[in-house]
Amino acid sequence: MKVILTGSLGNISKPLTKELVEKGHRVTVISSNPEKQKEIEALGAIAAIGTLEDVDFLVSTFTGADAAYCMVPPNNYFDQKLDLIAYYCRLGNNYAQAIKQSGIQRVVNLSSIGAHLDKGSGILLGAHNVEKILNELSPDVAITHLRPTSFYYNLW
Ligand SMILES: NC(=O)c1ccc[n+]([C@@H]2O[C@H](COP(=O)([O-])OP(=O)(O)OC[C@H]3O[C@@H](n4cnc5c(N)ncnc54)[C@H](OP(=O)(O)O)[C@@H]3O)[C@@H](O)[C@H]2O)c1
């Protein structure tokens, strides 16, 4: 399968890239950092360098692929001006546009524990909103929402 991974070579997407490449899939990894290109290619994947804020870039990267793994990267939580809920909505809408325009049919969305709640969940409302946005896509698009609990990166 032709698979698009967002999340660069981050905590989840790096081991995921290795596993999918080993299983024979054609994997494209999105990173915003041109310096990651070589590392992505060294894993046997294709690098797509650009930002998740750019819908046209997402459309062209998603086009022709069988499946996409979509995630919202952490932002600068110490930035007092950051509207985290708006950030999640913006990227959720970007993904929805890219899925629609590219015609991609299979999507795995990294959501979160608590994403079923529409209030009282603090910043998890961001993940709730992204699920809602993606659920409004055509039923022809098969979407799996993953709702992990908290996970720790220092354990592997
Ligand atoms: N930790 C938890 O307990 C928990 C629980 C539930 C859900 N989650 C979800 O898991 C996510 C974190 O996943 P992770 O640990 O795999 O991520 P990660 O290791 O932080 O990797 C995300 C990567 O995305 C890339 N990126 C950032 N902004 C970008 C942009 N605008 N355009 C393109 N690429 C961009 C960055 O790499 P480059 O610099 O190469 O672009 C970044 O390293 C959280 O944001 C949250 O949504 C976490």
Ligand 1: residue whose CA is nearest its atom 12: 73
Q: How many whole angstroms from 19 Cα to the centroid of ligand 1?
A: 18
Could you tell me the pTM of the whole model? 0.97
In terms of Cα–Cα distance, which of 129, 67, 131 is closest to 102?
67
Q: How many whole angstroms from 10 Cα to the centroid of ligand 1?
A: 6
Q: How many whole angstroms from 150 Cα to the centroid of ligand 1?
A: 14
Residue pLDDT tens, the chain, 156 long: 999 999 999 999 999 999 999 999 999 999 999 999 999 999 999 999 999 999 999 999 999 999 999 999 999 989 999 999 999 999 999 999 999 999 999 999 999 999 999 999 999 999 999 999 999 999 999 999 999 998 777 765
**How far is Cα 47 from Cα 34, in angstroms, rounded to an integer?**
9
The domain 2-155 is classified under which CATH number: 3.40.50.620, 3.40.50.10790, 3.40.50.720, 3.40.50.300? Answer: 3.40.50.720
Report whether residue 59 contacts ligand 1, using a CB cutoff of 6 Å.
no
**How far is Cα 78 from Cα 156, in angstroms, rounded to an integer?**
26
